[in-house]
Chains A and B, each alone.
Chain A
Amino acid sequence: MRLFTGCFAHESSGFSPIPTSIENFREAMLHRPSRSEIVEGRYNSIECALSAKGEERGHEVVESVGAVAMPSGPMVKADYESVRNEIVSDLKKAMPVDAIAVFLHGAQLGQGYDDCEGDLLAALRAVAGPDVPIGVEIDLHGNVTQAMVDNATLVIACKEYPHSDFLERADELLDVLEAAVAGRVRPVASWRRLPMMGIFHTTRQPMRGMVDRISAMEKEPGVLSVSIAHGFPWHDTPHTGAAVIVVTDNDRALGDALAARIGAELFAMREDIAAPQTSLDEAFAEAAAAADGLVIIADTADNAGGGAASDSTFFLHEMIRRGTDRAAIGMIWDPVAVDLAFTAGVGATLAMRIGGKTSPLSGVPVDAEVTVTALNTKLSQVAFGYRRVVGRAAALRTGGIDIVLIAHREQVHSPDCFTEMGIDLSAKRLLVVKSAQHFHARYSPLASKIIYAVAPGATSVDFTTFDYHRLPRPIWPLDAEAAFVA
């Protein structure tokens, strides 16, 4: 079949202090075939696997824009519209096509756009007409909207957090599209939004069981796909919240019933699936009381992977105040400090001001006498199953604390962040990582205890700290009375 593919994925946080222009995409990944612009930044994005998979399956693939950027604030209006218009124009030139497969994030914002996915999909639908099946793969952190469901034929979210299953979901998407084009199925989507928001790990029960159950449901007759979108809580829009999407073979009644039932089940377990919250003080107390071995505290509120600056100093200040030793913290985004460390050179000791530089959520900068212990122009780590370049990094030591600073904002995924900077984690008692969850798979084998802490930050799961005005109320956990009627 003739398959049109594209990828335009940005997790936009309404509370991120980091602006987003087209430049952010150049730093990660930006393919604009119609402009012959291909910029391979630090990403090797698996989200844009749809075109490669389409070709593997022997289809005639017309590849449009591939644009991915690090989570940050809403995209500048003109830049968002430029990329959106380019995808639409690429489709116009490609018509007629048999199917459209796109990867969108699900939580993308533009200045003046609460729902970029719905906006783009409506424009694609207008070009494609009502009969061309449009399949959308999204990140489970998307906020699903009516416009998305109305304009796409099917929406499939990844099932895992950490997101280890993008490629499998892409295959499923293409399977359904092929079957639809061949006339074997008629996909229809049912969905329900749930009045709940939060961060839910699929590695733990009871969410693990829930994910396994919906996977099993997909084997049932008439059920093509079942997705749970966890939602992205840091949007101040009427679309915020978790959602269930069921795609059936022309059986809307079945889909609606399943979506309602799964929705009720998920809503009922909301307290049990929400990410643990431990305050900074509690986290240190728990760490101190822990048995021997390495305690890892996740600074979940300062996660670059959710649009935070990754430069907050709440933990570092406390570690210095306590005279903590055999400790390490990373990765703190501070490009100017990285430059100064490179200039000073390995072995130099100097006074430096670190972190706390982006916004009030960053806290107060740390002033410390530091020794530069390592410099790396191409630090890398394993993220989403492939080796991703982090870039220029400096390791500093102050007292008994090793600090990893980075020039390009990124969350901690794998232990390379420290080991490639000469920091021996086996000699550490305390490790603070700036990540919400993506650190978990590769760090848990090293840890005797993992604590998910919530200090101030742009990705705090203490939603009371944000100034929301437009959420669909009531919504759990802000409103205890929120209820889901199946």
Chain B
Amino acid sequence: MKFYCAFIAHETSRFSPIPINLDSYRRSALYIPSTGEGEHLLDEVMGEDSWCGALRSMGHEVVIGPIAIAMPSGPTPRADYELLKRELVQTLRAAMPVDGVALLLHGAQVAQDVDDCEGDMLAAIRAVLGPTVPVGVVFDLHGNVSAAMTANADVLLACLEYPHIDFDARAIQMAGLVERAARREIAPVTARRRVPMLGTYYTTASPMRELVDWAKSHEGRDRILAVSVTHGFAWADVADCGASVVVCSDADPDGALALADRIAERYFALREPIRSARIGADEAVAMALAHDGAPVIIADTTDNPGGGAAGDSTFLLRALLDAKVENAALGMLWDPVAADFAIRAGVGATIPLRIGGKIGPASGVPIDVVATVLACRTDATQNAQGTISPLGPSALIQVDGVRIVLNSLRDQVFDPACFEAFGLDPRACRIVVVKGQQHFHATFAPFLSKVIYATPPGTVNMDYRTMTFERIPTPMYPINEPPFEAFGREWRA
């Protein structure tokens, strides 16, 4: 059989101070079928280990459409989004007839004047395919699931884990279901139940862990093909924002919806225990110092480049310096000019530097320090969930008791290599502040003593009640407290 696969994914924050255009995609990953630009990505991203590889290994032909990935930031300009959509549709058209379509999309992609890129792209795909060719999508649990997505996709499932350690497996699961649907072995239908809540939920901790395990346990029984518990992404500020439960069943729409309702009920009931706590910078540092054990990892969650933040806020650095913490590390502070100054001054130099706080109000204020340059690298990389990602010209500087990694290519910390590349072992530190929300967890877990998810002021603002959303519907927890009516049903306190 012949399958069509493509990978278009951007997590969009309308609160991000960082604009984006097609070059931004080029810097991460961009393959344009009509010109051949980025052809090397076909092997790197859609190779053997991917869901495309899984389809090929079953003996099928796979035609690849566009690949477009960029760092989380503001909305994609309309013209650039339309270019990607055009490539998606035209490459499919040229490949017709196909037996199935298997896509990887983000779920929270916004373009200028297109609030639901995934729904928009899926509708365009459906228009080419007609009603009978199965379409499957695997997406990020931070996606905002829309009616257009469920209407146009037959198989819709998200990763269940945050950090997304199960993404590859879920993509392969999705492709397997599309393949079975193409062979007419199953007739997948998708039901979505929206859950009126905004939040960030780490699946590494109770009770979210148990909820996810329980939800997933329904797969493979009673004609249930796939279950997803999506968290949504509030900062896209679109009408579909919020959590949801998505269930795919084999020709049992009522059963799918009923299960989605049951899971949604329990999900909403856990809304408070699963929410991340509000912990300010000074409080986070105090908690870390009070903990008996090392290293304590403080995640600077609100300045997560992986959520569209600049990665240069100074609240936690200020708190570390004010508390005169010894043997602390902080990384990575996105400050290309300061990193360049450190590199020019050279290892061993002690220089005045103004660091951080340079992109906007969410960055806080820049901090003037006297820094000793400990190490410089132009070729350092980290392993970002399987992709080797460069840090750009970077330096490790010492300021009082804190060692700080300054980098040039904005990104979150996925991997201790961010520190080790400069000769700094985070295992030997008392406190390590990482700019990121959760993706660091997979690689730091083996040695961390405690994680504190700090929420100082920042772009990835978790204090939804203080934010001004334009399109998120209310009532919505925690902006509103239940009981209230939303999405056609009652939600109890």
Interface: B341 (CB within 8 A): yes
Interface: B366 (CB within 8 A): yes
Interface: B77 (CB within 8 A): yes
B residues less than 8 Å from A350 (CB atoms): 17, 19, 74
Interface: B23 (CB within 8 A): yes
A residues less than 8 Å from B341 (CB atoms): 18-19
> Whole-angstrom distance between the alpha carbons of A76 and B349 in the complex?
9
B368 x A359 contact (CB < 8 A): yes
A345 x B360 contact (CB < 8 A): no
Tell me the minimal C-beta distance from B395 to chain A in angstroms.
12
Tell me the minimal C-beta distance from B376 to chain A in angstroms.
11
**A335-349 interface code vs B (CB 8 A; 1 in, 0 out):** 110001001110010
> Whole-angstrom distance between the alpha carbons of A365 and B361 in the complex?
10
Give the contacting residue for A353; candidates B19, B21, B354, B360; CB below 8 A: B360
Tell me the minimal C-beta distance from B130 to chain A in angstroms.
37
B359 x A353 contact (CB < 8 A): yes
B358 x A336 contact (CB < 8 A): yes
B residues less than 8 Å from A240 (CB atoms): none
A340 x B18 contact (CB < 8 A): yes
> Whole-angstrom distance between the alpha carbons of A166 and B349 in the complex?
35
A340 x B19 contact (CB < 8 A): yes
Give the contacting residue for B344; candidates A20, A344, A345, A351; CB below 8 A: A20
Interface: B346 (CB within 8 A): yes
A358 x B337 contact (CB < 8 A): yes
Give the contacting residue for A356; candidates B337, B345, B366; CB below 8 A: B366
> Whole-angstrom distance between the alpha carbons of A352 and B17 in the complex?
7
> Whole-angstrom distance between the alpha carbons of A336 and B363 in the complex?
14
Interface: A479 (CB within 8 A): no
A357 x B354 contact (CB < 8 A): yes
Residues B332-354 near A (CB distance < 8 A): 336-337, 341, 343-346, 349, 351-352, 354
A343 x B21 contact (CB < 8 A): yes
> Whole-angstrom distance between the alpha carbons of A356 and B359 in the complex?
11
A353 x B352 contact (CB < 8 A): no
Interface: B449 (CB within 8 A): no
Interface: B294 (CB within 8 A): no
Interface: B381 (CB within 8 A): no
Interface: A269 (CB within 8 A): no
Interface: A55 (CB within 8 A): no
A residues less than 8 Å from B21 (CB atoms): 343-345
B344 x A76 contact (CB < 8 A): yes
B residues less than 8 Å from A336 (CB atoms): 336-337, 358-359
> Whole-angstrom distance between the alpha carbons of A362 and B74 in the complex?
28
Residues B192-225 near A (CB distance < 8 A): none
> Whole-angstrom distance between the alpha carbons of A309 and B19 in the complex?
25
- Which residue of B is nearest A355, CB measured? B358
B residues less than 8 Å from A364 (CB atoms): 365
> Whole-angstrom distance between the alpha carbons of A344 and B22 in the complex?
11
A357 x B337 contact (CB < 8 A): yes
Interface: B239 (CB within 8 A): no
Interface: A367 (CB within 8 A): yes
Interface: B24 (CB within 8 A): yes
Give the contacting residue for B360; candidates A19, A348, A356, A367; CB below 8 A: A367
Tell me the minimal C-beta distance from A406 to chain B in angstroms.
13
**B296-339 interface code vs A (CB 8 A; 1 in, 0 out):** 00000000000000000000000000000000000000001100
B19 x A343 contact (CB < 8 A): yes
A353 x B346 contact (CB < 8 A): no
Interface: B448 (CB within 8 A): no
Known: A343-B24, A353-B359. A19 touches B344 (CB 8 A): yes
- Which residue of B is nearest A18, CB measured? B341
A357 x B358 contact (CB < 8 A): yes
Interface centre among A17, A23, A365, A367 (most CB of B within 10 A): A365
Interface: B20 (CB within 8 A): yes
A344 x B19 contact (CB < 8 A): yes
Residues A350-397 near B (CB distance < 8 A): 350-353, 356-360, 362, 364-365, 367
Give the contacting residue for A352; candidates B345, B357, B360; CB below 8 A: B360
B residues less than 8 Å from A353 (CB atoms): 17, 358-361, 363
B366 x A357 contact (CB < 8 A): yes
A360 x B337 contact (CB < 8 A): no
- Which residue of B is nearest A79, CB measured? B346
What is the interface of chain A mostly: helix, strand, loop, or mixed?
mixed
B344 x A21 contact (CB < 8 A): yes
> Whole-angstrom distance between the alpha carbons of A335 and B363 in the complex?
17
A345 x B361 contact (CB < 8 A): no
Interface: A24 (CB within 8 A): yes
Tell me the minimal C-beta distance from A9 to chain B in angstroms.
18
A24 x B77 contact (CB < 8 A): no
Tell me the minimal C-beta distance from B243 to chain A in angstroms.
29
A residues less than 8 Å from B352 (CB atoms): 17, 359
B residues less than 8 Å from A352 (CB atoms): 17, 360
B337 x A335 contact (CB < 8 A): yes
A343 x B366 contact (CB < 8 A): no
Tell me the minimal C-beta distance from A311 to chain B in angstroms.
10
Give the contacting residue for B77; candidates A17, A76, A345; CB below 8 A: A345
Known: A340-B19, A344-B19, A353-B363. A358 touches B354 (CB 8 A): yes
> Whole-angstrom distance between the alpha carbons of A336 and B21 in the complex?
16
A residues less than 8 Å from B358 (CB atoms): 336, 353, 357, 365
B residues less than 8 Å from A358 (CB atoms): 337, 354
A78 x B346 contact (CB < 8 A): yes
B19 x A351 contact (CB < 8 A): no
Give the contacting residue for B361; candidates A19, A21, A362, A367; CB below 8 A: A367
A residues less than 8 Å from B359 (CB atoms): 336, 340, 353
A76 x B336 contact (CB < 8 A): no
- Which residue of A is nearest B112, CB measured? A348
B residues less than 8 Å from A78 (CB atoms): 346
A residues less than 8 Å from B20 (CB atoms): 343
B residues less than 8 Å from A18 (CB atoms): 341
- Which residue of B is nearest A20, CB measured? B344
Tell me the minimal C-beta distance from A176 to chain B in angstroms.
38
B residues less than 8 Å from A367 (CB atoms): 360-361
> Whole-angstrom distance between the alpha carbons of A360 and B23 in the complex?
34
Tell me the minimal C-beta distance from A127 to chain B in angstroms.
29
B residues less than 8 Å from A17 (CB atoms): 352, 354
A residues less than 8 Å from B343 (CB atoms): 21
B residues less than 8 Å from A359 (CB atoms): 352, 354, 368
> Whole-angstrom distance between the alpha carbons of A360 and B361 in the complex?
18
> Whole-angstrom distance between the alpha carbons of A255 and B434 in the complex?
67
> Whole-angstrom distance between the alpha carbons of A409 and B352 in the complex?
19
Tell me the minimal C-beta distance from A289 to chain B in angstroms.
35
Tell me the minimal C-beta distance from B372 to chain A in angstroms.
13
B351 x A19 contact (CB < 8 A): yes
A348 x B354 contact (CB < 8 A): no
- Which residue of B is nearest A335, CB measured? B337
> Whole-angstrom distance between the alpha carbons of A23 and B368 in the complex?
24
Give the contacting residue for A76; candidates B74, B337, B345, B357; CB below 8 A: B345
A residues less than 8 Å from B361 (CB atoms): 353, 367
> Whole-angstrom distance between the alpha carbons of A18 and B343 in the complex?
12
A21 x B346 contact (CB < 8 A): yes
Tell me the minimal C-beta distance from A68 to chain B in angstroms.
17
Tell me the minimal C-beta distance from B355 to chain A in angstroms.
10
The 8 residue pairs across chains A and B that have the minimum distance between CB atoms: A344-B19, A21-B344, A19-B344, A19-B345, A343-B19, A353-B360, A357-B358, A343-B21
Q: List 29 A-B contacts (CB under 8 A).
A: A18-B341, A19-B345, A19-B349, A20-B344, A21-B343, A21-B344, A76-B346, A78-B346, A335-B336, A335-B337, A336-B358, A336-B359, A340-B17, A340-B359, A343-B19, A343-B20, A343-B24, A350-B74, A351-B17, A353-B359, A353-B360, A353-B363, A357-B337, A357-B354, A358-B337, A359-B352, A359-B368, A360-B354, A367-B361
Beyond A353-B358, A364-B365, list 15 extra A-B contacts (CB 8 Å). Answer: A19-B344, A24-B344, A76-B349, A336-B358, A343-B18, A343-B21, A350-B19, A350-B74, A353-B17, A353-B360, A356-B366, A357-B366, A365-B357, A367-B360, A367-B361
Binding site for A on B (CB under 8 A): 17-21, 23-24, 74, 77, 336-337, 341, 343-346, 349, 351-352, 354, 357-361, 363, 365-366, 368
